[in-house]
A and B are shown apart, each in its own frame.
Chain A
Amino acid sequence: MPAKDYAATRYSGLSQITTANAPRLRAVWSFSTGVLGGHEGQPLVVGSTMYVVTPFPNVLYAFDLTHEGYPLKWKYRPDVNPSSVGIACCDAINRGAVYSGGKIIYNLLDGHTVAVDAVNGRELWKTQIADIGQGETTPMAPFVAGNRVIVGPSGGEFGIYGWVKGLDLATGKILWTAHNMGPDSLMLARPGRGRYVADPNIGVTTWSGDSWRRGGAPVWGWISYDPQLDLIYFGTGNPGPYNTEQRPGENKWTNSVLARRPGDGSLVWAYQFTPHDSWDFDSNAEMILADLVVGGRLRKVLVHFDKNGFAYTLDRVTGELLVAEPFANVTWAKGVNRTSGVPIVDTTKITGASRGDVKGICPSLEGGKSPASPAAYSPRTGLFYTATNNLCMNFAAAPVTRIPGTPYIGATTPYMVGPGGNGGAFIAWDAARGRKVWEIKEKFPVWSGSVVTAGDVVFFGTLDGWFKAANARTGRQLWKFKVGSGVMGAPISFRGPDGKQYVAIYAGIGGDWFLLSGDVRSDDPADVRPPADFAAELGRHTSQGGIVWIFGL
């Protein structure tokens, strides 16, 4: 599955690659995907086949790992509506596929989920799940829990009415749709029953008028699952528009974690990280499930690095907040009240059309960490590993009108590098205590995912195109290789048919950096831009281009 296991740990139990031999890693294979968009997500290895989904037009490649040069077994080239490219807020990316029951399942950008026979590449089913006419696109990686395929849309910048859907694994039929706000009947919420204790229709009463109907709350990140509790966990994105004054109220359940039953979608509990979001602090980042000793007790927890700069450790049975500490530079809040779970907001940082240009907000709306860069957890070290950004922003909101299928944003938000002058860092985090254990500073924001192995080696990539290995216990750098383009994918580690351990990663800068650093693009003679002022040197080190790499000893 996309994040290795139900718990989304991105932990590999392979131990051939160690802190001692990692400096001898070498490239064993590479493949150009033929696509320039941002290569987020990760390859998927099932048995002796590696599957790769490209950004739009969402080609699916199946590589035979048993033959020299890993030739293709087949490729599947779907018919994807090119209009969807203009509906994707931030490049036409894709976050990968999931395997279940002989099927490779992934989302096409234009609002379809497809299931393809993992052996021969034949399309088994194709279901329309989203409407690009309403600003919905679908780059997230589907998740399978039991016989349900769980999917959600992007579109927080297009005024969508956010949801998740449960599809039948066998047929692709949509079995349930659960909205993230609105009346309880549409949220599939039953207040007072089970553990969902919110006020009735809180998805309406925390909004003004019918603003919830276009209030965003997209689901474009990662999903995890606890089979014992039979709960899926996922984050929701920002409320729309960015101009807070068009949606007074807490705007539940935007910027939240929701726990639902995969079978029927019913809402069991929810917790909102950033009420009445003033800064585009989506909570789509992964919810990593672990069992940790917190405050002297072994707890079933979920750990989440939010865009708002705080790392949260929650009891995943009840949603109780256990730990919330900043992992990045934070100015918008002084902390999080442990009892109420509500952030202590610096009111001078609240934005809105009547508040003019609010300066000095950290993190920026790229997040203390991007949800596009999933963290990893090693049960051996007890530590979490994540890319981080060190950016701040000014934020000038403005009134905006919703025109379906066009952006519904209403803000201008220039960025600047935060204190220290490094654009980002890769860090190790102790989620039981809420503290940073080590960090590797990087010149540019760090946007890659990570994988950590039983050899205590952690891997990540940088925007300027290095793929790196570090000692998971100390943060000492062990090895690096220039992969040809900036890294925003997530590495994986797998055992090949030859019994050897390998590590794979995508190179291919894009995503937000396709927008922010337009000078890393050279594919359009009619679009020539100066460098981003806060990352002026990035174009010196990288340009767009999608490559799959495999490394081994």
Chain B
Amino acid sequence: MLALLTACDRPDGIPPSIRYPDHVSAGGNLPPAGDLQNPFVADSTNVADGSKIFSAMNCDGCHGGGATGWVGPSLVDGRWRYGGSDGAVFQSIFYGRPRGMPAYGGILSTGAIWKIVSYIRAQPVPVTVPTESFK
């Protein structure tokens, strides 16, 4: 865990060209340089590591336990403000987003961020989204 949490490995492979405030790209197509690949496979070890980091870095303080939403949005509803691909989620964590999502690049290693991505992307989307009915 400690090795994962430190920022000792430099954020190699993060092209500076993607550092726009809102990451909005022409026609919705990310520039090729922004097409990042998660170096980890989504196995149970990496997902469990990601879950621990999610708590240890206080992500649950805003996004809620299980990432089901709190003052920050739900990350398990299958909906995404800034894109739900591995690379887009990575960029949200690394660079932060407007209205309060802090940039964790430099606080967390790129490896730790990728494991959070693995954890979030492994969460099941509830079947009841989007309809809520009342009896």
Contact = CB atoms under 8 A, between A and B. Distances in A.
Given A86-B71, A539-B132, A406 B102 contact: yes
Interface string A46-62: 00000000000000000
Given A83-B99, A401-B56, A403-B107, A91 B71 contact: yes
Interface in A398-447: 398, 400-401, 403, 405-409, 412
B101 A531 contact: no
Contacts of B126: 530
A88 interface: yes
Interface stretch (A216-224, A315-323, A514-522): A514-522
Contacts of B10: none
A84 B102 CA distance: 11
A406 B74 contact: no
Contacts of A519: 132
A167 B74 CA distance: 40
Contacts of A537: 134
B123 interface: no
B70 interface: yes
Given A90-B71, A530-B132, A408 B102 contact: no
B55 A89 contact: no
Given A403-B58, A406-B58, A408-B58, A514 B129 contact: no
Interface in B47-95: 55-58, 60-62, 64-65, 68-74, 77, 79-81
Nearest to B134: A540
Given A401-B58, A527-B73, A529-B77, A85 B100 contact: yes
Contacts of A150: none
A66 to B, nearest CB: 39
Contacts of A528: 74, 77, 79, 129-130
A88 B72 CA distance: 10
Contacts of B80: 526
A145 B77 CA distance: 49
Nearest to B82: A526
Contacts of A406: 57-58, 61-62, 102
Contacts of B99: 82-83, 85-86
Contacts of B77: 526-529
B72 A409 contact: no
Interface in A521-544: 524-531, 537, 539-540
B58 A400 contact: yes
Interface in B97-122: 98-102, 107
A468 to B, nearest CB: 23
A365 interface: no
Nearest to B77: A528
A157 interface: yes
A528 B65 CA distance: 16
Contacts of A83: 98-100
A87 interface: yes
Contact of B102 (A405, A518, A539): A405
A404 to B, nearest CB: 10
B59 to A, nearest CB: 8
Interface string A147-160: 00000000001000
B101 A86 contact: yes
Contacts of A88: 71
B25 interface: no
A518 B58 contact: no
A190 B4 CA distance: 47
A231 B47 CA distance: 55
A137 to B, nearest CB: 10
B61 A408 contact: yes
B5 to A, nearest CB: 9
A539 B58 CA distance: 28
16 contacts: A84-B100, A86-B99, A401-B58, A403-B58, A405-B102, A518-B69, A518-B74, A526-B77, A526-B79, A526-B81, A527-B73, A527-B74, A529-B68, A537-B134, A539-B132, A539-B134
Given A406-B58, A526-B80, A529-B74, 13 more contacts: A86-B71, A86-B100, A406-B62, A515-B71, A526-B79, A526-B81, A527-B74, A528-B74, A528-B130, A529-B68, A529-B69, A530-B126, A539-B132
* Closest 7 A/B residue pairs (Cβ): A86-B100, A407-B61, A527-B73, A526-B79, A526-B81, A406-B58, A540-B134
